[in-house]
Copies of this chain bind each other. A is one copy, B any other.
């Protein structure tokens, strides 16, 4: 395998000049550049990125810690983030935390091992008490999710509370009063479950309606379709009356719709259903699913851009400015699974 020194010798320049050419340093005579590139070509030389990373102290790689790619929301989010990173010449290693505390703690350690320069982290199991884990980590961190934990860390958020409140309001406006919440978790995490439940609760309480425990559908096994169906079944089996469903993500909503239809309830006449995330599938269920579009693309672009800026600051020795809080635009997408508003 040829090295930079081989290329330099062949081009009749120093190794540093080869380095400059390959790094895109602008002040190089055109003829020199051409000679270097020709030598690179002739030798079939490829830059040893590991050596560069080692010497420069940076890897050009960022970590993306999310629970699970198999969930369409995270898969689609990951695609957006990979695309945004690519536009900035950053690479991404995905760190699926598997909804475990252990997985999330491991992800937070990666940058310290110099495996990645910084981290985009979508927490699902950490709790408020873990806030200090996120301070003074010594590397740039961008948190995805409502601003929690710490106001010293950059956040890019998804309006979890507002979205769930809007979803619930939509059903309330249509006169529904027996609205189930599907996707409850027993663990008191700071993830979307807590926040979306808060939005649901706030919407009910604003109209003087108390939360009825029998209407809460639990999905501790994860926010998959199957668990949505099971949670819906559990609620229905309790014998409680139901005329609306707010599910904490679209997969749960689609599972709940399946269960409702199996039991002969018609949607939206008997039961209105709202999801959250606006995954592609939501458009093609029968009926099409009303859901909250949390501005995924915006989230991805802003999160990567922000991290990139922090990394550049670190490279220039700047001790990053004030933490940023960006809230993506949220939008309720009304489709066939909810009754028209009066």
Contact = CB atoms under 8 A, between A and B. Distances in A.
Contacts of A51: 54, 114
B59 A68 contact: no
Q: Quickly give the copy total for this chain.
A: 2
A109 B44 CA distance: 12
Contacts of A225: 280-281, 283-284
A59 B116 CA distance: 13
23 contacts: A46-B109, A48-B113, A48-B114, A50-B53, A50-B57, A50-B59, A53-B54, A69-B78, A69-B82, A70-B76, A72-B75, A78-B94, A92-B94, A93-B93, A225-B281, A225-B284, A226-B280, A226-B284, A228-B284, A255-B284, A258-B285, A262-B286, A285-B285
B47 A113 contact: yes
Contacts of A214: none
Contacts of A68: 79
A231 interface: no
A96 interface: yes
B91 A115 contact: yes
A14 interface: no
A56 to B, nearest CB: 9
A261 interface: yes
A70 B61 contact: no
Nearest to A229: B284
Interface string A302-313: 000000000000
A59 to B, nearest CB: 6
A99 to B, nearest CB: 12
Interface in A92-110: 92-94, 96, 109
A70 B75 contact: yes
Contacts of A286: 258, 261-262, 286
B93 A61 contact: yes
Interface in A32-67: 46-51, 53-54, 57, 59, 61
